[in-house]
Structure 1
Amino acid sequence: MARFSEIKGGSMTRKVTFRLDEKHLEELDLCSTHFGASISFLIRHLVVRFLEDQRRNNPSSLGCRSAELLGGGHGR
């Protein structure tokens, strides 16, 4: 199994901050302990899995937005 940092080119240079309520943070912490992985790793894994599922199940939902973000669309 490839290391997370090696997946999809793997250069992780941007940091994202988000908030969770205490209940969900405690659950995430328990999962982290159970799986022996950091909270950051679990969140990255889940976000990547979500994006891949979106791409696979509804390609147009991300395709158009990705083009906008890369400057190829007519967004913002």
Structure 2
Amino acid sequence: MPFFFLSSESLSSSFALLDLIFCLESFLVFIESFLESVLDFLESFFVCLESFALRLLLKVPDCKSKVFKLFITDSGIF
């Protein structure tokens, strides 16, 4: 007799457990990808919003002098 023997029931339950683990991993990869896409969209949206706000400030005559007092960097307007 072999040292290690799996019955067909325990073997099928092992494969079922592996299938469950792979499905869970695939689902988590999907969630991670989805959240990265949402973060990329939000980052683009806020960059666009910041650009729009800056253009709006520059169009208003009274705000032009105030805009030049702002400290403008790559990471944003302070």
Normalised by the length of structure 2, the TM-score is 0.30
- Which of the pair has more CA radius of gyration? 2
Could you say which structure has the higher helix fraction? 2
Higher relative contact order, chain-length normalized (CA < 8 Å, sep 6+): 1
Normalised by the length of structure 1, the TM-score is 0.30
